[in-house]
Structure 1
Amino acid sequence: MYRLLFTQVLARFDAEAVHHLTVRAFRVLALLPLLKGLIHRSMAPRDPALRIKAFGVHFPGPLGLAAGFDKDAGCVPALAALGFGFVEVGTITAHAQPGNARPRLFRLVRDRAIVNRMGFNNAGAHAAAARLRRPRGLPVVVGVNIGKTKVVPESEAVADYVTCAKELAPLADYLVVNVSSPNTPGLRDLQTAGKLRPLLTEVKQVAAATTRRTPLLVKIAPDLADDDIDAIADLAVELELDGIIATNTTIERPPGVHVPPGAETGGLSGRPLKDRSLRVLRRLRARVGDRITLVSVGGVEDVDDVWERLLAGASLVQGYTGWIYGGPFWAARIHRRLAMRLRRHGAKSVQDVIGRTAA
């Protein structure tokens, strides 16, 4: 039913307009405690086998929503009610910014993919913090993804991230430093170990000073060379980060992908990213083992993908494009099927299968 609705109705409208309409609808749902509670009771992951503890945080299920959908932390409770084990908001910058010029969001329906060059459009850290302080009415793990304000020069990037972290780290269950979006000029240059070290060091001090010591993760791009992936992995271990999220969107256009006019630039997500994301995960696992938590994202469409990422060494998995194409019941459906698969394989919990096929 949803696939028919998507292809015959939603796909005929501007992608960003539909996104904003959906966000507004979820914000309304977040304000309706009875309806929100009913949906949560029917869709949230409740099977004990799905529970997992990562970097000191308890998750009801391993599948979460990646950053990019709820950019301003406005509809967290509604998203949690739909069956996600956790919700990552953002990317949020220290200062409000409009993002890049439209059009900046494109569907590649044939390839079950999306191209975006949004450019961290958001209302800023102070506005997001006010929303995160509001009562949610539901138990939900919230990650906060932070990035560099576009107008801030690279020489002031560390201070910009620190400003954002000071505002948001106390309100986050975990904090993510995003240096991997292709849509902010120069941002990916911060992934080099020499530039990343002082940035992560400073932000980690902020995160560690919160009342609960907010876990800190870094999100990397799929387009890094293998040596650069290894260097970031080594740096994460050296700095005792809590995790690595792999991967962000790609600037590559794999052969066979149908690119509509206007979508030649920007970050590609969805099915075409699947293989590269999995390769990066496996390389990270081989490098760091189980010393830090790995979160896999990129091309996750169904329970088979989640299962494969867990076996390869991810403790948590995220999706976004797969949810857009899969519909509102996507996360709840995957969690139910994952619980069944765990039992079929004789596993008592998600933890039992993590890294089972890792080298």
Structure 2
Amino acid sequence: MPDWFYRTVSRPLLYRLGARTARAVALGFMGRLARLPLGPLAIDLLGHMRADPRLTVRLLGRDFASPIGLGPGLDPEGVALPAFARFGIGFISVGPVGLQNPPTRPSVERDDAREAIGFPDAAPPLGLKAAGAVLAELSRLGVPVAVRVSGETAEEYRHLLTETRRFVAAIAVPAAAAVAMSEWLPAAEGVPILLTVRADSPTADMEALAAGLAAGAGGVLIDGAVAREGGGTEIGAPAREPALALVRALRASLGPAVPLVVGGGVHEPEHALALLDAGADLVEVDSGLVFNGPGLVKRTNDAVLYRNLSAQREPPGAAPRPAAMTWFWTALLGFGMLFGGALAVGIAATRVVLPYDEAFLGLSRDQLHTVNPRLLAFMAHDRVSLAGPMLTVGTVYLGLSLGGIRRGVHWAMVAVFASASAGFASFFLFLGFGYLEPLHAFVTACLLQLLLLGMHSELGPYTPTGPPPPRTDRAWRRAQWGQLLLVAHAGAVLVAGAVISLVGVTAVFVPEDLEFLETTAEQLRAAHPRLVPLVAHDRATFGGMLVSAGLVLLLTALWGHRAGNGWLWWTLLPAGVLGYAPAIAVHVAVGYTDGMHLLPAFAGLGTFLLGLALTRAHLMESGGGPEPVSVPWAATRR
């Protein structure tokens, strides 16, 4: 559930359900998806959320891919943790884990006004047997896990530590249990022990915490929960200020050497930054994914990365040769596509057919006119329509190269490579219609070399355009609707391309085509056996280019809509206009104005422009806030 779908479709529907039902539906869907054979790839496709390698934090004797992790309050039963593991998180907290499962599932209540999730029941929601299966699954995924255990006696703690230690990076126990540390600590066998205190912990817990650290505990975990009115606990916004105050107090009293893992109402990137600046080493998010959206981790990672990179202020090194960089070759590929599209428009507006087309048919241009007076106009319509997606692809490739790939934007490179690979693969559709056009083959071979050179060149390090927004705003919320429209538009283009390609290698014509030509496919085949293969070549090539355009537009819509990417908006606007305008204009010029035939083009253009209008303000945002002047405390710990 990416933000553009969660905020526009999923959340309004889920909020109509009870909190317990909504959680079961959402987590159940995510968990099943993550366990399907291609499910993890689908999650990666929708979000592209992996953390930048420069976010790695060294703590507790191991590397964490990001200082932002998942707290246990969102999915205490571990239903969807394999899905969350692909959200760009650096670690996962599981638990609390007890010896036995509770007799019933714990109750859940959602307070939308206060942005809080309440748990009236205090019983551990996960027994040791169920927890073992969850921990084993997460261990196979390679994500660091901190398991919270809860027992009554020292013997229970020894058993819990013995059964969980082989799966985890750290084990968290209540600070109150530290009075018996000497009895159960050896069972951990070197696994770091974190002492857990709630954000609103009483003084007695602080005293136990000090004793436990003195007895050999490896750090502190601040549970992002506070007491709930009416009994039980709650996570969310009410825990934010208590957690922040406790982090500051503990860091001041314990000094910089004691690791602090902190949760507490992180609903915006600025909340995580505040905890890191206050002294947290790792930060947990949970309820923020419910109230803000699944992309919170990704947006927070972006904010942390920007702060860290800005604070380092490393002097720029020598600029690498353009020919050694991927963006140079993908930009040339885009320029080549633009030139090819413009050339196709020029040919269609003049000769329509080239000498080798005439040689393939054994008919001159004038003889083609005698076969069917509308045939040349129909072929011109096909070839100008083909030029449209070529111009779109060329414009997007050029924009992604200069605005994204040149700055080390990984998703932009993947979008170009995936789209271009699909486009070049579509060249082999000629096997279905039996006509190998020499110019098409020559241009394809030349452009393929540019793609291969780009694949074997260097991307370079990612450089942000500016500070990401510290919080969501109206422009961001409106942009989710625009992104939804752009994703739907690109998906429709992709499907249309696949359908047209299939038509091009099978039936070739649709009923509206034959109505315009005032003939039948059998009559055209009877007039000349090579006439239909020539038309099929244009139709199938058009479909292949639509697939290529749909793919690059889809990946761009999925991954590229971040504040500060104004260059992307100015790339998409001309790309869309250049794609639709020639196709619509040529239909009018040749008189092929069937309403149902043109409806997809007008609907697609309208959807595309509306999506751009809704995303403009967000993409043009500078990010807000002053430039950072210091590295967050946790970022210095390596």
TM-score normalised per structure 1: 0.79
Say which SS state the counterpart of residue 245 (structure 1) adopts.
strand
Report matched runs for 1:146-161 at 5 Å.
Answer: 146-148=149-151, 156-161=152-157
Partner of 1:187: none
Deviations 1:133-169 (A, max 9, x none): 3476643112211113xxxxxxx52222222222112
| Deviations, residues 295-348 of structure 1 (Å, cap 9, x unaligned) | 111111121111111111110000111111122222112112221222233378
> Number of residues paired by the alignment?
315
- Equivalent residue number for residue 108 of structure 2: 105
RMSD (Å), alpha carbons: 2.6
Cα distance in 2, alignment partners of residues 71 and 58 from structure 1 = 24
Match for 1:35: what amino acid?
G
Establish whether residue 197 from structure 1 lines up as the match of residue 202 from structure 2: no
Residue aligning to 2:53: 48
Richer in strand (by share): 1
Cα 1:40–1:236, aligned 2, differ >3 Å: closer, same or farther? farther
Q: 1:222 to 1:46 in 2, by over 3 A?
A: closer
Bigger drift between 40-49 and 26-35 goes to: 40-49
Which residue does 2:87 correspond to in 1? 82
- The 1:324–1:203 alpha-carbon spacing in structure 2 relative to 1, beyond 3 Å, is farther
Describe how 1:131-150 pairs up with structure 2 within 5 A.
131-134=134-137, 138-148=141-151
Partner secondary structure for residue 39 of structure 1 = helix
Residues 355/69 of structure 1: CA separation in 2 closer, same or farther (3 Å cut): closer
* 2:64 equivalent to 1:59: yes
| Equivalent in 197, 203, 220 of residue 244 of structure 1 | 220
> Given residue 330 of structure 1, which amino acid in structure 2 is its aligned partner?
L
State the Cα distance separating 1:276 from its structure 2 match: 0.9
Residue in 1 aligned with 2:632? Answer: 353
Instruction: State how far apart, in whole Å, the 2-side matches of 1:72 and 1:146 are.
Output: 14
Contact residue 73 and residue 287 of structure 2 kept, 8 A: no
Q: Which amino acid aligns with 1:108?
A: D
8 Å contact from structure 2 (residues 224, 265) kept in 1: no
Q: Is the 8 A contact 1:107 1:114 kept in 2?
A: yes
CA contact (8 A) 1:37 1:138 kept: no
Partner residue, 1:94: 99
Residue 323, structure 1, aligned to residue 289, structure 2: yes
Q: Which residue of 1 aligns with 2:248?
A: 282
Counterpart in the other structure of 2:170: 174
Correspondence for 1:235:
211
Aligned pair partner of 2:20 in 16, 20, 31:
16
* Bigger Rg, which one: 2
Structure 2 residue runs of 5 or longer lacking an equivalent are: 315-629
Partner residue of 2:198 out of 221, 241, 263: 221
Letter of the 1:250 counterpart? V
Give the match for residue 235 of structure 2.
269
1:162 matched to 2:158? The reply is yes
Deviation string, structure 1 residues 29-76 (Cα, Å, up to 9, x no partner): 231343314534754443233110111121000111111333344443
| CA deviation after TM superposition for structure 1 residue 6, in Å | 5.8
Q: Which residue of 2 aligns with 1:256?
A: none
Which structure would you say has the larger RCO, counting Cα contacts within 8 Å and 6 or more residues apart?
Answer: 1
CA deviations 1:230-271 (Å, max 9, x no partner) are 423422330221211113421155xxxxxxxxxx32212211
CA contact (8 A) 1:242 1:292 kept: yes
Q: Distance in 2 between matches of 1:288 and 1:44?
A: 34
What's the CA shift string for 1:85-111, capped at 9, x where partnerless?
1111122111222357x7x21111011
Residue 335 of structure 1, aligned match among 290, 301, 306: 301
Residue 7 and residue 24 in structure 1: after superposition, are their counterparts in 2 closer, same or farther (change >3 A)?
closer
Inter-partner Cα distance in structure 2 for 1:176 and 1:241:
10
* CA–CA distance in structure 2, aligned partners of residues 347 and 324 of structure 1: 36
Counterpart of 1:20, as a letter, is A
Alignment partner of 1:70 is 2:75: yes
Q: Distance in 1 between matches of 2:199 and 2:138?
A: 36
Instruction: Give how far 1:281 is off.
Output: 0.7
Whether the aligned pair in 1 keeps the contact of 2:139 and 2:168 (CA below 8 Å) is no
- Pair 1:315–1:159, CA change in 2 (3 A): same
Q: 2:122, 2:232 within 8 Å by CA — same for their partners in 1?
A: no
1:149-208 per-residue CA deviation (whole Å, 9 max, x = no partner) reads xxxxxxx522222222221122112111146xxxxxxxxxxx3xxx5320x33332111x
Match of 1:129 in 2: 132
The residue matched to 1:71 in structure 2 has which SS? Answer: coil
For 2:136, the aligned partner's letter is R
Cα distance in structure 2, aligned partners of 1:59 and 1:224: 27
Instruction: Work out the CA distance in 2 between the residues paired with 1:43 and 1:268.
Output: 31
Q: What SS does structure 1 have at the residue aligned with 2:85?
A: helix
Distance 1:352 1:85, change over 3 A: same
Q: Assess if the C-alpha contact under 8 Å between 2:277 and 2:632 holds in 1.
A: yes
Structure 2 SS opposite 1:240: coil
